[in-house]
Structure 1
Amino acid sequence: MERVFIDRDRVCHNKVIADGEETRMASQVLPTHRPRLQEARCQTCSLSSLCLPLALELDDIDSFDAIIHRRPPLKKGEHLLRQDDPFTSVFAVRSGSLKQLTSEGDGEEQLTNFYLPSELVGLDGIDEQTYPGSIVALETTTVCEIPFDRLDKLSESLPELRNQLYRSMSKELRDDRRMLRLLSRKTADERLASFLVNLSNRFRRRGYSPYSFRLSMARADIGNYLGLALETVSRILSRFQQQKLVAVQGREVHILDLATLESVAEGEGCR
């Protein structure tokens, strides 16, 4: 079945017709004068309060919106960019999720980051003017591409935009340091608990439930990110379920005792 992606300010009526071997979707979209991908705007985006235009006035948002290129949706497994590509833009995730893979000299890939809606991708390419890792869609994902030279020029006249960009860079540095502490000092149980608590906080920040969410990443990806074997991730999740900390069904996670899970993440164990 073909997926139809519609921006929130358009109206779509879908009818699914199944007949034996054939399944088709008929879609009727109300008339519009602009191309579909140009319909989304920062003013109407539900993530604008979390993204770069956070502190901008209405007129300034229009100026920022004018430099953005909204790309077609990425399919699961499709690359947004590849390691060592020339740095040209940063990207804001509108929907879906992405992972970052970094390959060293031995060719082995290390998963170094996950990106959720409203988060910026590509800031780590500013220094050396190349992207240090490949960015791959974990599911159907849409992004806003922001050419960095235009963003830099616009931020000169919009101090609020420049400050928000600095805050985003600072957050990236803080997250990198947190990850280093996670890998160097925490046990396997503490790493996985920290990962789940971090996801819970990120979903809460976006207005979603911090207790029930779907993992877009496979357990093997989680293990790669945390420096754990797949079997270890599965074993710890089973133990967390036995301890009534979480309930897991496939990729659906339900946090049953967030306070205790936070204690485990901090190395205090189960109360």
Structure 2
Amino acid sequence: MPTRPPGGNILTLASLKTACSSCNLQDLCLPRGMSEAEVVELERIVAHSRPYARGKTVFRVDQPFRAIYVARSGAIKTYILGSDGVEQIIGFHLPGEVIGLDGVIEHRHQVTAQVLEMASVCEVPFDLLEHAAAHVPALQHQLMRLMSRDIVGKEQQLLALGDHSPERRLALLLLDMSQRFAHRGFSPAEFNLPMSRQDIAAYLRLAAETVSRAFGKLQRDGLIEVDGRLVRIADHAALTAFAGQMPVGGNRREAS
């Protein structure tokens, strides 16, 4: 079994006073590709790093859209409630990822965003952001990139929810989390999942018991090792092949 990293969760609360220019997430967030002067312009409109405790809501469905938000630490889930009142999770969001873009078109949020673990969140008023983007080309480009990434994220969820077995759905989610942790400088092979089994079930549209069995099956097959929320990918190539994804530098292989 893998051992837990020292200090528990690897996504710890960052300093609440860190500026965009010195934030270690700037390559993942709005400042990417912006000059120092342009980052200073952005900093004038960003409300830096408000802390949110676990379970707190950043915004709710149907709430008027006024800002977008960036997690600086912690993790956030976005969800809607089905007709039966059960959560249907739309996505899980890690540090450096923007949430709230769902409200741009209708001027109201289409989902609820709730903190999974203690988080530090930057708030960016959208009207001020639009005004700044009008005369900062790099910021305008980054906004378009973020909106495109939001669309890609929804497409990836549709892929995970396709006509796949529970084990393959779970494998796709774990590979996605692995890649996102790697982009943040963490190990792609061993990481703590910020979400519960129930949350994973609500995302993959499965029963919680089915998710637990899927974890057990992947572990018995030697693809992963699990200790609570700590996951170690024991055989990344085999897990990728099982999920039917294309390995780096290779050809797509279908899951058996």
Fold in common (TM above 0.5): yes
Tell me how far 1:189 sits from its aligned partner: 1.4
1:140 aligns with 2:113: no
Distance 1:108 1:6, change over 3 A: closer
Corresponding residue for residue 34 of structure 1: none
Q: Tell me if the contact between 2:13 and 2:74 (Cα under 8 Å) persists in the aligned partners.
A: no
2:247 is equivalent to residue 269 of structure 1: no
Aligned mate of 2:70, from 85, 89, 92: 92
Q: Which amino acid aligns with 2:158?
A: L
Q: How many residues align?
A: 237
Counterpart in 2 of 1:223? 201
Contact persistence 2:13–2:73 (CA under 8 A): no
Of the three residues 164, 176, 186, the one matched with 2:142 is 164
Other structure's SS at 2:27 match? coil
Unaligned 5+ segments in structure 1 are 8-36
Distance in 2, matches of 1:91 and 1:141, equals 12
> Identity over aligned residues, as a percent?
37
Partner of 2:80 in structure 1? 102
TM-score by length of 1: 0.84
Residue 4 of structure 2 aligns with which residue?
Answer: none
1:72 aligns with 2:50: yes
CA displacement 1:166-209 (0-9 Å, x = unmatched): 01101111111221232133221111000000000001111110
Q: Does 1:150 align with 2:136?
A: no
Question: Contact between 2:134 and 2:140, CA under 8 Å: does it hold in 1?
Answer: yes
Q: Is the 8 A contact 2:48 2:123 kept in 1?
A: yes
User: Partner residue of 1:211?
Assistant: 189
SS class of match (1:99): strand
SS of 2:237 mapped into structure 1? helix
Look at both structures and tell me which one has the larger radius of gyration over its CA atoms.
1
Q: Secondary structure at the match of 1:142?
A: strand
Task: Give the alignment partner of residue 221 of structure 2, picking from 229, 240, 243.
Answer: 243
- Give the 4+ runs in structure 1 shifted more than 3 A: none
C-alpha distance in structure 1 between counterparts of 2:67 and 2:195, whole Å: 25
What amino acid does structure 2 have at the position aligned with 1:195?
Answer: L
Specify the alignment match of 2:161 in structure 1: 183
Cα pair distance change 1:65/1:232, threshold 3 Å:
same
Q: Matches of 2:82 and 2:147 in 1, distance apart?
A: 24
Secondary structure of the residue aligned to 1:216 is coil
Q: State the match for 1:57 in structure 2.
A: 35
C-alpha distance after superposition, 1:212-265 (max 9, x if no partner): 100110001001100111111111111111111111001111111011111111
Instruction: Name the residue aligned to 1:20.
Output: none
Tell me the distance in 2 between the aligned counterparts of 1:104 and 1:238.
Answer: 28
Alignment TM-score, normalising by the size of structure 2: 0.89
TM-superposed CA distance for 1:49, in Å, is 1.2
What's 2:250 paired with?
Answer: none
Query: Are positions 1:174 and 2:160 aligned together?
Result: no
Q: Is the CA contact 2:14–2:120 (under 8 Å) kept in the aligned structure 1?
A: no
Q: Using the alignment, how far apart are the partners of 1:93 and 1:5 within structure 2?
A: 10
Which of 118, 124, 148 does residue 96 from structure 2 map onto?
A: 118
Partners of 2:81 and 2:214 in 1: CA distance: 27
Partners of 2:101 and 2:221 lie apart in 1 by 39
Q: CA deviation at 1:105?
A: 4.0
Higher relative contact order (CA 8 A, sep 6+): 2
CA distance in 2, matches of 1:176, 1:6: 28
Counterparts of 2:87 and 2:181, CA distance in 1? 27
